[in-house]
Amino acid sequence: MQKQKLLINGERLKQELERFAEFGRTENNGVTRLSLSNEDIQARDYFRSCCEELGMTVTVDDLGCMYATLAGTEDKPPIVIGSHMDSVKKGGRFDGILGVVTGLEVVRTIIENQIKPCIPITIVNFTNEEGARFEPSMMASGVLSGKFDKSFMLQKRDPEGISFAEALKASGYEGDSNNRLKEATAFLELHIEQGPILEKESLTIGVVECVVGMACYEIEVTGDSNHAGTTPMRMRKDALFAANNLINEIRKRLGALDSELVFTIGRLNVYPCIHTVIPNKVVFTLEARHKDMQIVNTVKEIIQGLPDLGINEGCEVTTTKLWDRDTVWFAPELCDQLEQSAASLGCSHRRMVSGAGHDAQFIASYIPTAMLFVPSINGKSHSEDELTAWEDCEKGVNVILDTVLKLLFK
Ligand SMILES: [Zn+2]
C-alpha cells in the first residue's frame, strides 16, 4: 500500500502570508517593504519570533541576511529554503515572501508530525533582493557568492542619501560574517512566476531549469542638427530616422532567431528633442535574453554589425556593450526531484526558464540549487495587482515539502 503523503496546512500558510502582508500594506492591497525600512524590520522581527517559537536558532550575517535553523540529528550541511522579504515600492504580497513563508510552513509541518530531521533545515531571508532601495538587486546573495564586493555595496545610497552600511547598522540586523551561508545540502526557492506562461497553459508548477543569460547594449546614433523648415530632406543627417531604420532591422533579425528569445528597447532618448530641430543624436538600449548562450552570442554579433548595414542615413552609429551575463543552470538532480514531487502530488507541471533574476542564481554558484514557480494571475508582479491563488501557493509548498522529505530520507 502506498504511504500517505505528508501535506502542509494550507489555511495556516494563507494566514501567514496575510500576516506578512500587513508589514507595509498599501491602500490597494499591495506591499511597500523596502529593504531595511521600518516595515522590513517589523517583518524581520516577526519572522524571528515565529522561528524562535518553533525552537529554531536565528542568526544574522554581516549583510543582514537571516538564517533560522532547525537542528538535525546529524551534523550535516543544512537544507536551505527561502527567498527575500523586501519588496519594490507598491509591490505585491507574494514576491519573495512566499519563499520565506514556505520555509516556515515546511518546518511547522515537520515538527507537528514529530519528524526528526537528520539534516538541519535552515530558512533564509536574503537582504535587499529587489534593489529597490539600494542598487543593485540581489545585493546580499551577490556578495555571498563573491560576485559583488562588500565594501563597495556598503557605500550604496538610497534616494535619501542613507548608505546601505548606515541602514544596516540602524536596523539592528548587522550580524557576523561567520554566519554567512557557506555550505548546504541544497537551496530551494519557491517564487511566483512573474510572467504569464503557467496561467496561460493552465499549469500549477514550473520547475525552473535556469535563469537565462542576457546581453545589454547601448546604441548611439550621431547625425546633424539643423532647422526643420529650411533643410531639404536630401541634405539631412537625421539621427532619429537612422535609429528607426536600425530598430526595424533589430526587430526583424532578432525576431527570426528563436521564438523563446525576448528583446527590449527600453530606453530611447532623442536630442535635442525640440520639435523644430532635426535630431542630431539618438541613444537607445537593447537587451536580449535566452537560455542558449549561442543565441545570445548571435544577438551580440547582429548588434555589433549594425553600423555596417548601410542604413544609417549618413549618421555615425556606435554600439557599446553595457553588460551581459551567462545562463545559470540549476542542479539537474534537484530539478528532477522537484518534478517527481510535483508529479507524485498530482500537480500539473512543466520545465521552464526564469527570465527574471533571483538570489538563487548567485547561490547556485556554490550550493546545489533549484527554483520552483507558481502561477502569477495575469502574469503580474512588481505591482499591487500581483496575485497568486492560495491553492497554487499551497501546492507549491507541498512540492517543496515533498522534496525536502526526499532529501532528508534518501
Ligand atoms: Zn522576488
Whether residues 160 and 107 share a domain: the answer is yes
What's the whole-number mean pLDDT along residues 308-330? 96
The CA-atom distances, in angstroms, between 329 and each of 3, 192, 196, 229 are 33, 19, 22, 56
CA of 191 to the centre of ligand 1 (A): 7
> What are the residues whose beta carbon lies below 5 Å from ligand 1 (ion)?
95-96
Last residue of a domain, one of 290, 324, 358: 324
Cell of 400: 517543496
The domain boundary residue, chosen from 299, 324, 349? 324
The yes-or-no verdict on residue 140 having pLDDT over 80 is yes
CA of 271 relative to ligand 1 center, distance in Å: 36
Cα separation, 389 vs 395, in Å, equals 10
Quick one: 197 and 300 in the same domain? no
Nearest residue to 84 via CA among 103, 73, 97? 97
Report if residue 162 sits inside a domain. yes
Cα 54 to ligand 1 centre (Å): 25
Q: How far is the CA of 232 from the centre of ligand 1 (A)?
A: 53
Give the three-class secondary structure for 354: strand
Q: Whole-angstrom Cα distance, residue 372 to residue 391? A: 15
Please tell me the distance between residue 88's alpha carbon and the centre of ligand 1 in angstroms.
9
- The CATH number that applies at residue 272 is 3.30.70.360
Q: How confident is the model at residue 158 (pLDDT cuts 50, 70, 90)?
A: very high
Strand boundaries in 37-194, DSSP class E: 57-60, 66-70, 79-83, 121-125, 186-192
Per-residue pLDDT tens over the stretch 22-55: 999 999 999 999 999 999 999 999 999 999 999 9
Q: Is the pLDDT of residue 314 over 50?
A: yes
The verdict on residue 312 lying in a domain is yes
Task: With CA atoms as reference, report the closest residue to 175 among 57, 23, 311.
Answer: 57
SS3 content of the chain, % helix, strand, coil (to 5): 35, 20, 40
Rounded to the nearest angstrom, the distance between the alpha carbon of 129 and the centre of ligand 1 is 7
Any idea what the CATH number is for the domain that residue 30 is in?
3.40.630.10
Contact in structure between 330 and 371 (CB atoms under 8 Å): yes
Tens digit of each residue's pLDDT (9 = 90 or more) over 7-21? 999 999 999 999 999
In this prediction, residues 93-97 reach a mean pLDDT of: 98
Q: Check whether residue 187 and residue 304 sit in a common domain.
A: no
Claim to verify: residue 266 and residue 393 sit in the same structural domain: no
- Whether pLDDT at 104 is above 70: yes
CA of 280 to the centre of ligand 1 (A): 40
Mean per-residue pLDDT, 102-110: 98
Q: Are 94 and 30 in contact (CB under 8 A)?
A: no
pTM above 0.75, yes or no: yes
Helix pair angle (38-53, 164-171), 10° resolution: 50
> Mean pLDDT across the chain, nearest whole number?
97
**How many domains, in total, are found in the chain?**
2
Q: Quick one: which H or E segment has residue 324? A: strand 316-325
Task: Give pLDDT, residue 3.
Answer: 64
State the average pLDDT over residues 92-121: 97
How much is the average pLDDT of 121-150?
A: 97
**What's the CA-to-centroid distance between 396 and ligand 1, angstroms?**
15
- Let me know whether 140 and 276 are in one domain: no
Mean pLDDT in residue range 179-191: 98
Contacts of 106 (CB under 8 A, 6+ apart): 8, 81, 121, 397, 400, 401, 404
Cα of 243 to ligand 1 centre, how many Å? 35
- The pLDDT of residue 1: 43
> Which cell is 133 given?
532601495
Query: Is-contact 333 320, C-beta < 8 A?
Result: no
Cell numbers given for 126: 536574503
At residue 410, does pLDDT exceed 90? no
Q: What is the pLDDT of residues 357-399, one digit of tens each?
A: 999 999 999 999 999 999 999 999 999 999 999 999 999 999 9
CA of 84 to the centre of ligand 1 (A): 7
Confidence label for 237 from pLDDT (cuts 50, 70 and 90): very high
Please give the backbone phi and psi of residue 338, each rounded to the nearest 5 degrees, phi first: -60, -40
Pair (60, 46) in one structural domain: yes
Helix (H, G, I), strand (E, B) or coil at 266: coil
Same domain, 149 and 293: no
Report residue 189 as a C-alpha cell: 526557492
Residue 68, domain member (yes or no): yes
For residue 351, what are the domain limits? 10-211+327-409
Q: With 60 as the cut, is the pLDDT of residue 78 above it? A: yes
| Ligand 1 centroid, distance to 87 Cα (angstroms) | 8
Q: Are residues 152 and 240 in the same domain?
A: no
pLDDT, tens only, 333-361: 999 999 999 999 999 999 999 999 999 99
